[in-house]
Structure formats: structure tokens, C-alpha cells
Amino acid sequence: MREFKFLYIVLTVLCAATHLAAQTDSVPEVVRLHPDTFRLNEQRGTADIDLLLLDLVNKQSVELHEGDSAYALTPEEQMLIDSLQREEARIDSIRVMNAQFREVVENKIPTIEIEKSWIKDEVEDRNDVLRAIRNMKTPWRKEATVMVQVTQNYVTPNWYQGGSSSFAAMGIAKGQVNYISDRFTWENTGEWRMGGSTVSADTLHKVNTTDDMFRLYSKANLRVVPKIFASVSAEFETRFLPTYKSNSMEMKSAPFSPLRFNAAVGVDFKPVKDLSISVSPLAYKLIHVNDTVHVLATDYGLELGQRTQHNIGSSVRVEYKWKPVREVQLDGKFYMYTNYHHVELDLEINCDFIINRFFSARAIIHPRYDSSVIMSGDNHAKIQFREMISIGFAHKFR
């Protein structure tokens, strides 16, 4: 009698579930085939409520037929229960795999940091997140920057303080293609700067070349211990346009005059992010002046009548990038080379101030010293210095 009461309660619960399933498409229909057995229709899903119903059917079937040969399952019903159990096992295995996958992904995904900014820019914030997700898929990092900046000054001939009108423009194209992994990094940088100006006081030249530099730099690092890498680097630098002295036809430089090539083997120390200190006990430097007729080779450390000079020595290269906020970026580079007879020191600091996504200002400070370069009229080498401030269009591609 107690068994029949229990069976009546079970049947009542299942009938209610069947009625509820008939009213909604999200819950599979329950069909009664036998007074004591139930099965789901063929259109069953994988929602949580489906799994609960499957589990309920299996449990009730076991309780109803356990130890009672009169209620033995038919072969078709047994096959159905076996298939349901296999389905549950398959779903459980998929859940385990998904959990393992999420654990692996969470361990490998770096923290996505949004750069500090003075100006709220939701587009840049979204791009930072998308860039971090894209970097997860490949070890290659690519970036390019294009700048066109101008400076204009107009003075009438009767201006009481005197002076000359001028107009200057400069274009900068810079790109990076880097390969970054746990033990090996390969950094490649290309830069092309070209600038010109017009000065009304210069009657011999309509346009003077103020900046002309094409440079390629490549460095490969292999990690030896944390923060210390074995390093091999090479740098190529030259010019494409002629440069003249003001109001003179004397040429200071010409295409591929000078041409410089540096190669070094040593150790690269990276104590903190964006700081690199490369010390190379073995360094090679080549200087070539293609046009020795119009360009004075001694201005670049060559001897009179010499077109190419080879030097073996040592070098130190320090690179640092500081970005306190998204709108300000300072790039510093210090280079020292010596062949144990002469020394060359070069310090270049570029500071970019981003006004918005398409306009920026730039300030450049570039002092250098080369003990092998003695200009005509001087008794010894002197410090050379270049400074520039400009504003104009700028855009970064990533």
C-alpha cells in the first residue's frame, strides 16, 4: 500500500511536468509509455532543465524496477536509458573541458591596462582592449606613425625689428615590426625624416634641406637569465637629398654621403620595462662618403682623399621610453662608440605631445660629439647641437 502511494505521488509530479512542457517550447515534452516508465521525446535539448528531467527519469526508473522482475525494462527502453546516460556523460566531459580551457586562458591572458589619459577617449580605450586581445594570438607586434608638421613666419620688409619670412615643413614616417616571445625577441625599426624650409634672406636656394635621414635598426635578443640577453644588433643610416650652407653653393651632404653602418655583439640588460642598456665589447662602424667632389669627407671623420673608413671598437647603447599619460611620450636614445683612438657620443630626445587623435606637437633635442670631426677653421672637435619644435598632423597605425 505504501508503495502504491509513493508511485501515485511520482506519477502526479511527472504529469504536472508534462503539462508544463506542453505550454512552453523551452522544456521538452514528457510522454508516458508504460505505467511505471517514462521517456523524453526525440527533440530533447541540453538546457539545465532538460538535464534535471533526464536525471529524474533515470532515478525513478531505477527505483520502480529495482528488485522487481515483473517490471523489467524492455530492450527499447533500456537502450533509451543507456543513450541518456551516455549523453549526460558527454555533457559532463564537455563541461570539464570548458573549465580546464577557461583556467588555461585566464592564466595566459595578460592584464589589459588602459593607459592614463588627460582626455577621455572611448575609441582609444576600445582600441587598447582590442589590441591586447589581438596580441594574444600572435607574437608579432606592428606599429607605424606618420607626421606632417609645419612652421610659418612672415615679416614685412619694413618691420621695425627686421628679420626674414620663412616657411618650414617636415615629414616623419616611422614603423616597428617586433617579434616577442618568452626567450627570444627581435626588434626592427625603420624611420624616414625629411624637412625643408624657405628663407627670404637666402637668395641662392628656394628650398633648403633642414632634415634628411633614413635609418634602419634591427636587434635580436636571446634571454640568458632574467633581464639579461645575449644581443646582436645592426644599424644603417644615410641621406637622400643634398644640403647647402645658407647663401652658399658649398655642399654639406649629398645622397648617400655620408652613409653609416654599425654592427655590435654584446649583452642587453633590461632592468625595467621600456629601458634597454646594451653593452657591446665588439662593435664595427663603417662610414662612407659617395661624393667626395662636392662633400668634404673630413667633416665626417674621414681622412683627406678617403671615401670609406672601417673601425673596430666597443659601443654602449641606452634606449628609454617614458609615457606618463597617453598624450605625452618621451623617447630617449644615447649612443657611445670608441675605437680607442676617438670617441663618438650621441644623445637624441624626442618628446611628442598629442593634442587629439590627428594632431600633435613635437620637440627634439639632439646634441652630439665626435672627437674625429674637426670642422674647417677649428682647432679641435666641438659639441654639435640641433633643436626643433613643431606642430602638425600625426596619426598612429597599429
pLDDT digits (tens, 9 = 90+) for 144-183: 999 898 877 787 777 766 677 778 888 999 999 999 988 9
- 398 residues of the chain, pLDDT tens digit each: 554 555 555 555 555 555 544 444 443 343 344 433 334 344 344 445 555 555 655 555 555 555 444 445 567 666 766 776 776 676 676 667 666 656 655 555 555 566 777 776 777 777 777 777 677 778 898 999 998 988 777 877 777 666 777 788 889 999 999 999 889 999 999 999 998 888 776 778 888 888 889 999 999 999 999 999 999 999 999 999 888 887 778 888 888 889 999 999 999 999 998 999 999 999 999 999 988 888 888 888 888 778 899 999 999 999 999 998 888 999 999 999 999 989 999 999 999 998 887 888 889 999 999 988 877 667 788 899 988 888 888 888 87
The answer to the question of residue 52 being in a domain is: yes
The confidence score (pLDDT) of residue 69 equals 46
The confidence score (pLDDT) of residue 251 equals 84
| CATH number of the domain where residue 344 is located | 2.40.230
**Same-domain status, 39 and 152:** no
Number of domains in the chain: 2
Q: Return all residues near 305 (Cβ < 8 A) that are at least 6 apart.
A: 292, 297
**Same-domain status, 144 and 102:** no
Nearest to 257 by CA among 290, 285, 224: 290
**Same-domain status, 144 and 68:** no
**Same-domain status, 172 and 47:** no
Q: How far is CA 286 from CA 66, 307, 342, 372, in A?
A: 92, 11, 14, 14
Please check whether residue 28 is in contact with residue 47, taking contact to mean a CB–CB distance below 8 angstroms: no
Distance CA 220, CA 379 (A): 41
The answer to the question of residue 13 being in a domain is: yes
Which residues form the domain of 320? 139-397
The confidence score (pLDDT) of residue 220 equals 96
The model's pTM is 0.67
The answer to the question of residue 264 being in a domain is: yes
**Same-domain status, 294 and 386:** yes
The answer to the question of residue 114 being in a domain is: no
The answer to the question of residue 119 being in a domain is: no
Q: Which of 69, 89, 108 is the last residue of a domain?
A: 108
Q: Residue 377: left (phi > 0), alpha (psi -120 to 50), or beta?
A: left
The answer to the question of residue 38 being in a domain is: yes
Count Cβ atoms within 10 A of the Cβ of residue 289 and give its class: 0-12 exposed, 13-18 middle, 19 or more buried.
buried
Q: What's the gap between Cα 165 and its chain centre?
A: 42
**Same-domain status, 168 and 220:** yes
**Same-domain status, 170 and 318:** yes
**Same-domain status, 195 and 100:** no
**Same-domain status, 220 and 329:** yes
The answer to the question of residue 124 being in a domain is: no
**Same-domain status, 215 and 312:** yes
Q: Which of 108, 125, 152 is the last residue of a domain?
A: 108
**Same-domain status, 237 and 281:** yes
The answer to the question of residue 121 being in a domain is: no
Q: What's the gap between Cα 79 and its chain centre?
A: 57
Print burial letters for 222-253: b (CB count within 10 Å at least 16), e (below 16): ebeeeeebebbbebbebbeebbbeeeeeebbb
- pLDDT, tens only, 13-26: 555 555 544 444 44
**Same-domain status, 192 and 49:** no
Q: Count other C-beta atoms under 10 Å from residue 344's C-beta.
A: 21
What residues pair up with 180 in beta bridges, in sequence order? Answer: 185
End-to-end CA distance of the chain: 78
